[in-house]
Amino acid sequence: MFAFCKPVSSKKRFLPFRRLNEDFTFSLYEKAAALPEKDWDGIGKKNTIFLEKEYLKIVETGEHTKLTSRYVIVYCKGQPCGIIYFQIIDFKAAVFGELLDHQVETIKSKRLNLFEKYIDSNKDEVLLRLFTCGNNLVSGEYGFLFDKKIPQEQAHEVLLNIIDLVSKEEKLARTISAILLKDFHVPLKPKALFEDENYSDFFVEPNLIVEIPANIDSVSAYIGLFSKKYRNRAKSIFKSSEGVEVKYLSADELKLYEKQLYKLYEGIFEKAKFKLIKLPKNYFSSVKSIFEKEFTVKAFFYEDKIIAFASSFLMPDGSLEAHYIGFDYELNNQFNLYQNILYAMIDEAIKNKRNKVNLGRTAAEIKTTVGAKAENLICYIKPQNTISKLIQKPFISFLQPSEWIPRNPFKEEEK
């Protein structure tokens, strides 16, 4: 690594144009509002909503006190050449109780057993401060962007230098701390650079992607590509939702129904395998007020009550990004709410002439029944002290994808 810059006091770390070497400098910011638009947007070019200033402002001003954001603009010979987004999250000991319940019996370690006992008696203590390059609220590569003129190897070297500096200045050396780089579709290169810096790579649950053929103009035409078995299944799913009205919600309506939507969202959140951070309570109306055309929320009404909703983004790259959902678990089987939500996402993509739907992680097998295919996601983690090294193996094991059977609903091609 080539950095000459060293960690500095909190008073100096937000000074602009800190020097990394003869060519590269960087500026660190606490708030998205303070980012110089010309420099930040000049790199992002508004190619991804999740790195736009206005979206990042919503994330940082939420009610979740566990989340702190940091922003970096990198300059090469005085010209902006890269942007980096960090989230810092504190986790209490209780979060790790379930993790160790699953893993400790398979790992013969006296230290780990003692650690489990410690967690049981200190559930409310902050045990892990996670320093993430990326966004823990969404899946995908939303941690950094560099100008294509910067060679990839050089960009990654600059990235790791800045991660090292900023993380040290955030005083991460506590009981447990770790650095996470998240959600890459292909391994970061060069591999040796990340190995030399003691990063371990691991897979998390895959993204599920639906490709929409160019000649498809309706959901009916889409399921027409299915085999008879899956066509009948889809028709049965649609029929089960008869009596349920699906309606787009405006920004004003989102404010009106905010509490109902949030309660449905919380039901999903509480069942998550590993709970990170909750959305701000006014998240959906706030996003809609800024991204009026790009962001949609479909609500499913039954007897004048919202029983499910699905939110999505029309992304600048021509895809549709499925975002947060919620549904009434007690009514899910009666109305096939979850699978109707999946088809609602596909319907939204087709109506907006999108060629791809990113359905996100979780429930991989069910998503493949509507035509999704899995794309692996790679993360990198770097423990910061002895205890974090101890918990790294069970932590990674806990986050790894569970076994599932991919389904293929499409007609088999003629041989």
Tens of pLDDT, residue by residue over 170-190, are: 875 455 578 999 999 999 999
Is the pLDDT assigned to residue 42 strictly greater than 50?
Answer: yes
Kindly write down the DSSP assignment for every residue of 3-19, as one continuous string: -------TTTTTSSSEE
Tokens of 242: 């008869």
Q: What is the pLDDT of residue 273?
A: 67
Q: How far apart are CA 382 and CA 367, in angstroms?
A: 32
Choose between 75 and 4: higher pLDDT: 75
CB 183 within 8 A of CB 204: yes
Q: How confident is the model at residue 407 (pLDDT cuts 50, 70, 90)?
A: very high
Give 272's pLDDT tier (boundaries 50, 70, 90): confident
Output the pLDDT for position 104: 45
Q: Are 280 and 264 in contact (CB under 8 A)?
A: no
127, 176 contact by CB (below 8 A): yes
The confidence band for 47, taking pLDDT boundaries of 50, 70 and 90, is confident
- Winning range, highest mean pLDDT, from 93-102, 119-128, 260-269: 260-269
Q: What pLDDT does residue 99 have? A: 56
Average pLDDT over residues 371-378: 94
In this predicted structure, what is the pLDDT of residue 274? 65
Average pLDDT of span 152-175:
86
Q: Which domains does the chain have, with CATH numbers?
A: 18-205+376-399 (3.40.630.30), 213-354 (3.40.630.30)
Distance (Å, rounded) from C-alpha 44 to C-alpha 54?
13
Q: Which residues contact 95 (CB under 8 A, 6 or more apart)?
A: 127, 128, 274, 275
Q: Over 70: is that where the pLDDT of 375 sits?
A: yes
Rg of the Cα atoms in the chain: 23
Summarize the confidence of residues 262-273 as an average pLDDT: 89
Strand 18-19 to 24-29 pairing: antiparallel
Question: Alpha helices of 241-328 — where are they, by DSSP H?
Answer: 251-256, 258-270, 283-290
pLDDT band at 9 (very low <50, low <70, confident <90, very high): low
CA dist., res. 122 & res. 303, Å (int): 46
pLDDT band at 106 (very low <50, low <70, confident <90, very high): very low
Neighbour-count burial of 71, counting CB atoms closer than 10 A to its CB (0-12 exposed, 13-18 middle, 19+ buried): buried
